[in-house]
Amino acid sequence: MGLRLQTNCVTRLFKVPIYRCPRCRAEDISADAHPTRVIDNGRLRPVLVCRNCFRAAELELRIASDAAGLTLEPMPIRDGLKLLADHYLDRLAAIDSPDQLLEDDQRAALKAPIATALEDVRRRLAIDVAR
Ligand SMILES: [Zn+2]
């Protein structure tokens, strides 16, 4: 018990809000998510997965669409980017939540990679509008 507490102190200095990939349930997709879709009750539902799961999820989607007799249209790029922007905004809001007992520097360190990912998505959205 004492050892476990000590390990927790060393490895988890503060509680980090982790948002895991719904497919593998291993990777944290807080700052690196990839939009795809799943077939849910015969309808396409957007979902975000980790980098490792993306290709497999897309392949599963194609196979499931064929099996269900659905015509699969590619997800419009802007839809995927908007999904990502919403996801990153939600993650930033979760870190800013008063329920997260974090020091300001911890909060800033957690938010930095997510903010960078959000900036990248917004830049890609802006480029897409310019076309
Ligand atoms: Zn995954």
In this structure, are residues 84 and 125 in contact, taking their beta carbons and an 8 Å threshold? Answer: no
Evaluate if pTM is beyond 0.75.
Answer: yes
Ligand 1 centroid to Cα of residue 94, in Å, is 21
- pLDDT tens-digit readout, 4-20: 444 444 444 556 678 99
Helix (H, G, I), strand (E, B) or coil at 20: strand
Ligand 1 centroid to Cα of residue 18, in Å, is 13
Ligand 1 centroid to Cα of residue 130, in Å, is 32
Report the percent of the chain where pLDDT is more than 70.
Answer: 85
- pLDDT tens-digit readout, 97-115: 888 888 899 999 999 999 9
Ligand 1 centroid to Cα of residue 52, in Å, is 6
Ligand 1 centroid to Cα of residue 29, in Å, is 8
